[in-house]
Amino acid sequence: MNQEKPLGMRIGESIFCAGYLVFALVTGCMLLACAPSAGTWARTCGAMTLLLGCGDAFHLVPRILVNLRGTSEDQSVLHRRSFALGLGNLVSSITMTLFYLLLFVGMWQMAHPGRGLAFSPLEAGVFCILCALATVRTALCLFPQNRWFDGTGSQTWGVYRNAPFVLMGIITVLYLIGWYDEWLMASLVFVSFACYLGVVLGARNNPMLGMLMIPKTICYIWLVSLLLARL
């Protein structure tokens, strides 16, 4: 809970979140700006990075405001905060899902410049599976049983909506290694998913597990940095 955090921790968390958002938005713009010379993969990865940053802003900006303003006993204020944080978690859940679809496309374009989206039958099949999982995940996120806005959420539906997302992560790790020999990228995806699941499955009973979102975010920063380094 936010009220259990000391002021220094809240300020540190806010600085980290703000720094991540600035990094994601600036890096996304840089990738897009370099797309004419670098190729279509840079445009895809730039859009992917901007989508990630904008989506995460929906839940990180309200979290930063809560950290800096402190707690309140006013029920109307608590209700607005719960709604803002819930909406942010919903939006970021969907944008994270789209992030992995665009990562698939961007990696393919990087490995096959000038071929557009002319996937082989195997690649097309994998992409279709990812799209199907993303559709199921997004649909499950929109069910009211998730209780995004009541301040607690549903742990059961957290498992439901994250099951297809985990499958997307497994497929991503496998194709990064099998097709592109990208062991570092695959490791970052694996660690980010492990941290994310630790929060989803355990943070309700052990709030300190919420700190796993920090290494998860670092993995995203590192992953995007690897793409930026290839310009």
pLDDT at 2: 41
Domain ranges, ordered by start, for the chain: 2-228
pLDDT at 124: 95
| Residue of 24, 21, 27, 17 whose CA lies nearest to 229 | 27
CATH architecture of 2-228: Up-down Bundle (1.20)
pTM as predicted: 0.92
Residue 166 and residue 224: Cα distance in Å, rounded? 20
Q: What is the pLDDT along the chain (231 residues), one digit of tens a residue?
A: 444 567 778 888 899 999 999 999 999 999 999 988 888 999 999 999 999 999 999 989 988 888 887 665 566 667 788 888 889 999 999 999 999 999 999 999 999 987 878 899 999 999 999 999 999 999 999 999 999 988 777 888 999 999 999 999 999 999 999 999 999 999 999 999 999 998 888 877 787 887 888 999 999 999 999 999 988
pLDDT at 1: 40
pLDDT at 77: 67
